[in-house]
Structure 1
Amino acid sequence: MPAAKKPRKSAIDPADFKGRAATINDIARLAGVSKKTVSRIINRSPLVREETRERVEALMREVGYTPDPLARGLAFRRSFLIGMVYDNPTAQFIVNMQYGALDALRGSGFELVVHPCDSRSPDYIDGVRRFVQQQKLHGVMLVPRVSEDQALADMLASIGCRYTRIAAVALDAHSRMVITHDRDGAAEAADYLQTLGHRDIALITGPGAYRSAIERTEGFVDALSRRGIKLPKSRVLEAGYTFESGVAAAEKLLSAKDRPTAIFCENDEMAAGVYRVALRMGISIPRQLSVIGYDDSPLASRLWPPLTSVRRDTRDTGRIAAAMLIQSEDDLRGRPVASVRPHLVARDSCQPPEA
């Protein structure tokens, strides 16, 4: 039986890479294989012997070699970049969404690039188009609020870029949607407050242009109505999903003589604003005022008392949206719509109203 072929000795020592990054040519020379073989290993081709694959992958780890997604895109005439486009005032929401996307892309050979934008700007869609074309993106995750913009989705379709949309309701084909069911989460918050005995309830909503705010508002109001509780217009204040807007809304609600016994805020940032005003006015949470937020962000458990909040798994949502983009379109065709269900996490910010 002939002896196994020994790799030819390389003139390059791994220690040489302390001052620079190794290239695919370096890896090929060190491993004693062709550049084409290294490329096949990077792209998980089945045409490479397992022994060779393990040896080359061990060498790449040793010298810290990382394939360049742009270079791979040129070689394979397609990009290995996934974009995330967002216009959202809540930093923690965006961070969790990125973590989820990175979970899905880890080990796939794809990388994530992000593009914040201002959807109120008249040329923001052109800006997204330039981002997609300059980066030669394989696909794009659209995060609320931009995911709700049909003109943006139409533009991506027109230039042949794959996309997934994260939204409170179905806005597109099932193969392009991750639905978050915000209406159901808000309805659960309403049911919880009613079960505790609250009837004088206020609502601080998100911006009226956001589909998530529309769904949460309608879900909350309808759930109370089914239980015989009508929410007066004076008890519904629109805010901006920010801490500052929550403060402003709370000041109006809590300065009234007949202040509510409970407030539902459509995100945790605005709920924190309510906490600020209640503390300043000497109103005890939850003894004199029950408060519920939405998102169950890390902020919810850091407030005192810990905030009852509707949890939507933002990280899991990002993971699903990114995973859909690196699956083949044939695999996605005909599958049920992807969704992430919210649920209430009860903590210490709610109790029955004072007699």
Structure 2
Amino acid sequence: MPRKTSAATGTRPASTGKPATINDIARLAGVSKKTVSRIINNSPLVRKDTREKVEALMREVGYTPDPLARGLAFRRSFLIGMVYDNPTAQYIVDMQYGALDALRDSGYELVVHPCDTRSPGYIDGVRRFVQQQKLHGVMLVPRASEDQNLADMLAELGVRYTRILPMGVDDQDARLVVTHDRDGAAEAADYLLTLGHRDIALITGPSAYRSAVERTAGFVEALASRGGSVPKARIIEAGYTFESGVAAAEKLLAGKKRPTAIFCGNDEMAAGVYKVAMRTGLSIPRDLSVIGFDDSPLASRLWPSLTSVRRHTRDTGRIAATMLIRAGNAPMPVASVRPHLVVRDSCQPPA
């Protein structure tokens, strides 16, 4: 059987079983290592025919640049960190997908760091992560993004960062992506009032999360602006989890006088309401209307499909990562990702 040769050079690549290195690419292409480096980093100082030949060779041998090695060579890192403390797995997955959308073909790679913001030493843990990885930049995802002390630490280290927040803050050093959670919750309240609901309950996320505070305030204020209200007994704080949604719904649906509608701070808790409603013989939406928040894949998989506030999580991650890898350190305007209500089958006028 004839030996396989390189289409770019006619030279047979080494078949040692080891990944090709930048030195291998340079040798096989008949160019200098510096030229290969320039091609990897999209330098304009390379002739078009040389670039095409080297890129064809890299594709043929499956060569991919090592971001850590590139960082050493160029005295800067090609790693973007994502720091998060969030109990909702789907939210984190969607955020990562968005960041990866932005980093694709950029030469940057994503590394993640989960943390517990309730732990007294978590900021030191983030500091070690940033310094050990020599990160180019950091995406701060709720709830970690809500901690000004964490943002201040990154600023002291001279590390660029973006903060994804449910509302604006006065932080001149930060590049902010504001998700306007209050507005999304207000739209949910307006929709229920338009349907004719007046006996409405609210299952919130943890009060330590700024997103939960914003969603609660937006919903309650929108009701009040149109003459409605939610009694304190109808507001149950839960934990953004399915189990906590079940526990909250059991309290709200146990008595004879039940609410005709429940707004939940996320879709996971709304799924918990579905479980309790089914167990108690209540029909959604005939006996009980339900609205969630996030518009995660779960919303369309429930039956009946869940009306939910879409907050464009993947787009948010993409924007935050794009801001980090954009050239230059000049301040950038605050980015906004506006939520909106996606109406499905879980609501109708009260009986």
TM-score after normalising by structure 2: 0.96
2:344 to 344, 347, 350: 347
Distance between the aligned counterparts of 2:10 and 2:186, measured in 1?
A: 69
The 2-side partners of 1:78 and 1:222 are apart by 47
Shift of 1:261: 0.2
Report deviation, 1:15. 6.4
Deviation, 1:287, is: 0.2
Shift of 1:340: 0.3
Structure-2 separation of matches of 1:223 and 1:147: 26
Task: Give CA-to-partner distance per residue, 1:58-86, whole Å, 9 cap, x none.
Answer: 10011000000000000011100000000
Is the CA contact 1:294–1:309 (under 8 Å) kept in the aligned structure 2?
A: yes
CA deviations 1:105-137 (Å, max 9, x no partner) are 111111000001111111110000000000000
Q: Which runs of 5+ in 2 are unaligned?
A: 1-7
> What per-residue deviation string (whole Å, max 9, x for no partner) do you get for residues 305-326 of structure 1?
0000000100000000000001
Q: Conserved in 2, the CA contact under 8 Å of 1:204 and 1:236?
A: yes
How far is the alpha carbon of 1:9 from its aligned partner?
6.5
Q: What is residue 150 of structure 2 aligned with on the other side?
A: 152
Q: Which residue is equivalent to 1:236?
A: 235
Structure 1 residues 126-141: aligned runs within 5 Å: 126-141=124-139
Residue 13 of structure 2 corresponds to residue 52 of structure 1: no
Instruction: Answer yes or no: is the 8 Å Cα contact 2:308–2:343 preserved in 1.
Output: yes
Residue 269 of structure 1 corresponds to: 268
Q: Which amino acid aligns with 1:216?
A: R
The aligned amino acid for 1:145 is: R
Aligned residues of 2:300 and 2:306 also touching (Cα < 8 A): yes
- Using the alignment, how far apart are the partners of 2:308 and 2:9 within structure 1? 62
Query: Does residue 100 of the first structure (1) align with residue 136 of the second (2)?
Result: no
Q: Structure 2: how far apart are the matches of 1:142 and 1:337?
A: 15
Q: Distance in 1 between matches of 2:179 and 2:13?
A: 48
Matches for 1:1-355 after TM superposition, within 5 Å: 10=11, 13-14=12-13, 16=15, 19-171=17-169, 172-173=171-172, 176-330=175-329, 332-333=330-331, 335-354=332-351
Q: Percent identity?
A: 80
Which whole-Å deviations, capped at 9, do the CAs of 1:77-102 have from their partners, x for residues lacking one?
11000000001000000000000000
* Cα separation, 2, equivalents of 1:98 and 1:234: 38
Distance 2:207 2:86 in 1: 14
Say if 1:8 and 1:273 are closer, same or farther in 2 by CA, change over 3 A. closer
Contact 2:277 2:284 in 1 (8 A): yes
- Give the TM-score taking structure 1 as reference length: 0.94
Output the CA distance in 2 between the equivalents of 1:305 and 1:9. Answer: 62
- Shift of residue 328, structure 1, vs aligned partner: 2.7
Alpha-carbon distance in 2 for matches of 1:147, 1:240: 18
Q: CA offset at residue 173 of structure 1?
A: 3.0
SS at match of 2:162: strand
- Contact 1:174 / 1:336 at 8 angstroms: preserved in 2? no
Q: Give unpaired runs (5+ residues) of structure 1.
A: 1-6
Between the aligned partners of 1:254 and 1:328, the Cα distance in structure 2 is 54
Q: Deviations over 1:202-223 (max 9, x none)?
A: 0000000111011100000000
Structure 2 letter corresponding to 1:223:
A
2:5 — aligned with what? none
Distance 2:61 2:172 in 1: 44
Q: Which amino acid aligns with 1:24?
A: I
Root-mean-square deviation (Å) = 1.3
Q: In the alignment, residue 93 of structure 1 is paired with which amino acid? A: Y
3-state SS of 1:248 partner:
helix
Helix, strand or coil at the partner of 1:310 = strand
Report the Cα offset of residue 170 of structure 1: 1.4
Aligned length: 343
> Equivalents in 1 of 2:301, 2:266: separation in Å?
15
CA contact (8 A) 2:175 2:333 kept: no
8 A contact 1:313–1:340 mirrored in 2: yes
> What secondary structure, in the 3-state scheme, does the structure 1 residue paired with 2:257 have?
coil
For residue 8 of structure 1, report the CA deviation from its aligned partner: 7.5
- Measure the CA separation in 1 of the matches of 2:264 and 2:325: 36
- Return the alpha-carbon distance in structure 1 between the equivalents of residues 338 and 325 of structure 2: 23
Deviations 1:120-179 (A, max 9, x none): 111110000000000000000000000000110011111111110000111223851000
For 2:163 and 2:40, how far apart are their aligned partners in 1? 30
Aligned to 2:15, the other structure's residue is in SS state helix
